[in-house]
Amino acid sequence: MTEDHPAIGNTGLPRLPKFYVAAILGDERARETVRRRSSGEPDWLIPRDLKGDIGVLRAWMQMRNRIRRIKDESHGFAPEPIPPGQFDLHVGIMSHGADAFGALKRFIGASNLLRPDLEIKTHLKRKHLELSVKLHGEYDPVQEIYHEVYSVVIHCALRWVTGEKVQISHLRAAAPPAGVETTFVTTLGRPVRREGVGVTIYYNASDAHAPLLPVKLGRWGSVVVDQFVRELTLSQVTRPNAEPLTPTTDRVAKMLATTHISESTIAGRLGLSIATLRRRLAEEGVNFREIANQARRRQAEVMLQTDRPFADLAVELGFSDERSFRRACKNWFGMPPVEYRLYLQRG
């Protein structure tokens, strides 16, 4: 891994072991390493070129690119290849549910027809709305990586169709291979209980009746990546080891974590006048412009790890044009966005 550029610092995004990611990408040496390290051989040697780690968004992009290359959304875990576009169909069916619980049930109905290799269940209990995912068939520790990836994919789709109204309480997942601490489900920033096989996501029971937003045709293909970027950005504000913020600063930072909105809009959502908001922030030693600038920088750091055009990022971050975005990147990172993206890809 390359050293940090002095003007850049660290994005703070999760990083995953290379061999762990390579296993889902089909590397047989990596898969054997996962199996050995999950089955009582914790000291099994990792191939030299698979040592180290990789940024989670880079891993995400590699998985997406592999799907396009091999034309199989299951990464080889289904008995027959799953053509690209099947998950888009799932999301389209999901989006016609009455609420979050209904959306999950519709997703499962589609999955029973299109992905019979998967066992997906949802239950609404007194405290939690549960979503569980696992593959049918003989157990293989490598499958647990796919369980985590597919669970995160469904979660991102559910967050998108509900306008991010559903919130994870905690998760359950299988124990990872020896030496692996960060996995795909831990990137969501919520507590994970390690036991059993497959993955279960626990949402708050009240979220089951969260209404769905109208969705536009043609967006489904980018839903998961876009929403995963937003989840990672938000996790930087809410992660357990983040520097604690004062009350008003914390609320403003969370509102700005994934969306560029104005000072007056935030004041209104907090039930405050702009003058009162400014006074409270001043008492906490900050101002709105500082918080907004830091939020924009954090979002830019995450989004530049995708392959989205700079013009699109400029619009989403609220810049008047691409030139303004490029200028901001140079101020933040000491280099233009194209160079910073290359730096992140190398690192």
| Phi-psi label, residue 284: left if phi above 0, alpha if psi -120 to 50, beta otherwise | alpha
Phi, psi (deg, nearest 5) at residue 264:
-65, -35
The answer to whether 328 and 300 are in contact (CB under 8 A) is yes
* Residue 175 in tokens: 């124990």
pLDDT value for 184: 95
What are 118's strand-pairing partners? 135
The closest alpha carbon to 254, from 305, 216, 294, 219, belongs to: 294
Instruction: Give the residue extent of every domain in the chain.
Output: 15-209, 231-346
Q: What pLDDT shows up at residue 299?
A: 83
* Coil, helix or strand at residue 132: strand
The residue behind tokens 């509900």 is: 162
Question: By mean pLDDT, which of 5-14, 60-69, 112-121 is the weakest?
Answer: 5-14
Q: What confidence category does residue 57 fall into, taking pLDDT thresholds of 50, 70 and 90?
A: confident
Model confidence at 3: pLDDT above 80: no
The model's pLDDT over 122-144, given as tens digits with 9 standing for 90+, comes to 999 999 999 999 999 888 999 99
Is the pLDDT at 11 greater than 70? The verdict is: no
How far is 318 from 237, CA to CA, in rounded Å? 19
What's the average model confidence in pLDDT over 213-242?
Answer: 64
Q: What percent of the chain has pLDDT over 70?
A: 90
Residue 96 has pLDDT above 80, yes or no: yes
Strand pairing report for 118-124 and 128-135: antiparallel
Instruction: Say how far apart CA 119 and CA 207 lie, in whole Å.
Output: 23
**216 pLDDT higher than 70:** no
Q: How confident is the model at residue 233 (pLDDT cuts 50, 70, 90)?
A: low
Rounded to 5°, the CA angle 306-63-37 comes to 125
Total number of residues shown for the chain: 347
The owner of tokens 């692996």 is: 180
pLDDT in tens, 301-333: 888 877 889 998 898 888 889 999 999 999 898
- Assign 222 a pLDDT band (cuts: 50, 70, 90): low
Could you tell me the pLDDT band of residue 235, with boundaries at 50, 70 and 90? low
pLDDT at site 82:
94
pLDDT-based confidence at 7, cuts 50/70/90? very low
* Rounded Cα distance, 207 and 54, in Å: 33
Q: Model confidence over 276-297: pLDDT tens digits?
A: 999 999 988 889 988 888 888 8
Q: Which amino acid is at 3?
A: E
Closest by alpha carbon to 148, among 176, 170, 124, 169? 176
CATH number belonging to the domain at 231-346, selected among 1.10.3720.10, 1.10.10.60, 3.40.50.300, 3.40.50.970: 1.10.10.60
Residues forming beta bridges with residue 16, ordered by sequence position: 54
Is the pLDDT at 155 greater than 60? The verdict is yes
What does the mean pLDDT of the chain come to?
87
Q: Which of 2, 194, 211 is nearest to 103 (CA)?
A: 211
Hey, what are 311's tokens? 């013009």
